[in-house]
Amino acid sequence: KAGVTQTPRYLIKTRGQQVTLSCSPISGHRSVSWYQQTPGQGLQFLFEYFSETQRNKGNFPGRFSGRQFSNSRSEMNVSTLELGDSALYLCASSLAPGTSLGELFFGEGSRLTVL
């Protein structure tokens, strides 16, 4: 059973640019969550999607957005990149809200460096 797949694994952008990160959940999983991981702030929740609807949103500025497609794949976008957006962006999937009993399956992440 394939795990959560995130692309790209590594990318370098410059300030002011935008970036789109992609996540393919485990087959059959319909819920996708995104997290930002930095040395200073740790793991912070960005969004959660289920059935193409955003269920929860973290405390991030509007430059951070996401969406989920009908096949449960998800993308997140960061516009007008800032140096502080450099981080590991992790995607996690689960069967459906309330059914996973806390088990999120994480991908390996997309490491974004903003210069």
Binding site for other proteins (CB under 8 A): 4, 31-33, 42-45, 48, 50, 55-56, 58-59, 90, 92, 94, 97-98, 100-104, 106-109
The whole-angstrom separation of Cα 80 and Cα 53 is: 24
Q: How far is the CB of 16 from other proteins (least distance, A)?
A: 29
Amino acid in the structure at residue 29: H
Q: How far is the CB of 65 from other proteins (least distance, A)?
A: 17
Query: Measured from the CB atom, is 18 or 51 closer to other proteins?
Result: 51
Task: Report CA-CA distances (Å) from 65 to 62, 85, 99.
Answer: 7, 13, 25
Query: Measured from the CB atom, is 17 or 56 closer to other proteins?
Result: 56
Query: Measured from the CB atom, is 12 or 14 closer to other proteins?
Result: 12
The whole-angstrom separation of Cα 72 and Cα 67 is: 10
Q: How far is the CB of 82 from other proteins (least distance, A)?
A: 22
The whole-angstrom separation of Cα 97 and Cα 113 is: 31
DSSP string, 43-72: EEEEEEEETTEEEEE-S--TTEEEEE-TTS
Q: How far is the CB of 108 from other proteins (least distance, A)?
A: 6
Query: Measured from the CB atom, is 18 or 99 closer to other proteins?
Result: 99
